[in-house]
Structure 1
Amino acid sequence: MIGIVIANWNGEKLIDKCLLSLKNQSFKDFKVYIIDNDSKDNSINVIKGYKEKLNIELIEMDHNSGFAPANNIGIKKAINEGCNYVLTLNNDVEVPNDSLEKAMNFIENNKEYDVLQLFMINYFERNKCDAAGLVFNEKLIPSQVGYREEVSEVLSKEISIEGACAGAAIYSAKALEKVKLDNGDYFDSKFFAYYEDVDLSLRLKRAGFKTTVLKESIVYHMHSATGNKTSGFKEYYLARNLFMYTKRNQSLEKYKKAKKTYYIILIINLLKNFNMEVLKSVFKGIKDGNKEAKKIEYKEFN
């Protein structure tokens, strides 16, 4: 059985399409773990409406715990209930009815892979790729493979990836258990949101687990459907978490040498979305990120 973990926050207009697509899957051996982050809309009623159609466990939080903590709750439950694989899925994703079956068939015949990226296509522009996985440069800055490229062009290429976007990614329980943090987190709960899948991808890579993209297992993703690009929220966490994940996943010497590059990246991004709220958020993110990074140590995986 595979566990499907979905974090939801005020997603009533999104999660209905997501759950309907799961109900229509040809592959049926899965359980859905939905962690609702104290939604104030009609999300809970929408989810409960699927309880007789899907094997769903709904966990209702009394606060917005964030993407990373919510996923950790679902992943832990799935693994404790015997799921050998966990699919993390955004609530703004629609899954064609044969995608899970194709994914599980691939897994059955390719046991050497422990991380599998479902091929993400833009929901609104279905000729455009959203993500086919992650690659990293020497300073651990990620790039989304295929982003905004023509789907046909991306699929025609041989794709080699080093990590997965958690919006639609399958992880083996074995791999997740191997790289979990000392406090039991799979995604670092301190991240709240953004870069948590980058951090996990780098830990999995360093531990020797192989990642691949499943070209035939597609999902349609409403990119940034729940985000606000100019409020300062996203910019704060991108700035803060950048210093945290890069500190954890490279030696102190390399981290110190790369920090200048990180500041340059943040300044460039700031200029693209400049307003006073974003400015204050980025500078607060830098301050908090450096503070948190001091507590993080590089750890080898044996």
Structure 2
Amino acid sequence: MSNESPRVSIIILNWNGWKDTLECLESIYQIDYSNYDVLVVDNASQDNSLEKIKNYAQGLETVESRLVAYRFQNKPLEVFVFSEKDYFNLPGTVKEDLDLIPSDKRIIILKNNQNHGYAQGNNLAIEFALKHLDPDYILILNNDTVVHEDSVKCMVNAAQKDEKIGAVTPKVYYYDYQGRSDVISHAGEKFNLYIGRGKRFCKNQV
């Protein structure tokens, strides 16, 4: 049995929001985890997002953030760009090509040909990951998220404890709650599978 950590495909949907996306990416590339893929799926942005993300990968676009310090050391990133028309017609060596490069030195950009919305945009990226990357877990992140360095490791460890666990979520803090970043927005939810809705815990607790 392999001692390698489970593989996690981290998916970030971007639509005309490159500044938030770059801050999110910077936090991801500082996580304490060794086996992951970063997929940025762009919903046909019109704000030059793709060029900004590529420039970030080359170390040409820095990030200003009150929560994560920019690091030059983890740049440049090897960029893999795929167009929507090719998502499911790629050669079977995509994973092997990616695995030649360390997790923290590569980024996958998926270019949707139109704005598919949040659900379908993410679903296309999930299908791509399942077909080409063989992940053990998929992590969906909003692009205005900044992750703690331990977040992925903690979620994987929790999921690994019981095979009946189908999904996990971290505690989520407000980015800025009246100048504070230590206020919990929510810490999971009780989800009703019959109606497809959940009730969050610790919402708006100060």
Q: Same fold (TM over 0.5)?
A: yes
Give 1:117 shift.
Answer: 1.1
* Pairing 1:57–2:108 present: yes
Q: Could you say which structure has the greater relative contact order, defined with CA pairs below 8 angstroms and 6 or more residues apart?
A: 2
* Pairing 1:118–2:170 present: yes
Choose which of 8, 14, 29 in structure 2 pairs with 1:2.
Answer: 8
**Greater C-alpha Rg:** 1
Alignment partner, residue 24 of structure 1: 30
Matches within 5 A, 1:162-177: none
Choose which of 38, 48, 62 in structure 1 pairs with 2:44.
Answer: 38
Q: TM-score, normalised on structure 1? A: 0.46
Alignment partner, residue 14 of structure 1: 20
Matches within 5 A, 1:96-111: 96-111=148-163
Choose which of 119, 136, 144 in structure 1 pairs with 2:200.
Answer: 144
Distance, in Å, in 2 between the alignment partners of 1:28 and 1:45 is 27
Give 1:136 shift.
Answer: 5.5
Alignment partner, residue 94 of structure 1: 146
Alignment partner, residue 67 of structure 2: none
8 Å CA contact 1:32, 1:54 repeated in 2: no
Q: TM-score, normalised on structure 2? A: 0.66
3-state secondary structure, aligned to 2:203: coil
8 Å CA contact 1:6, 1:88 repeated in 2: yes
Residue type matched to 1:134 in 2? E
8 Å CA contact 1:5, 1:71 repeated in 2: yes
Distance 1:28 1:146, change over 3 A: same
Give 1:133 shift.
Answer: 2.5
Query: What is the aligned-residue identity percentage?
Result: 29
Q: How many residues align?
A: 150
Q: Would you identify which runs of 4 or more consecutive aligned residues in structure 1 move more than 4 Å?
A: none
Q: Deviations over 1:226-281 (max 9, x none)?
A: xxxxxxxxxxxxxxxxxxxxxxxxxxxxxxxxxxxxxxxxxxxxxxxxxxxxxxxx
Choose which of 100, 115, 128 in structure 1 pairs with 2:183.
Answer: 128
User: Is the helix fraction higher in 1 or 2?
Assistant: 1
Distance, in Å, in 2 between the alignment partners of 1:88 and 1:40 is 23
CA RMSD of aligned residues (A): 2.2
Distance, in Å, in 2 between the alignment partners of 1:106 and 1:55 is 26
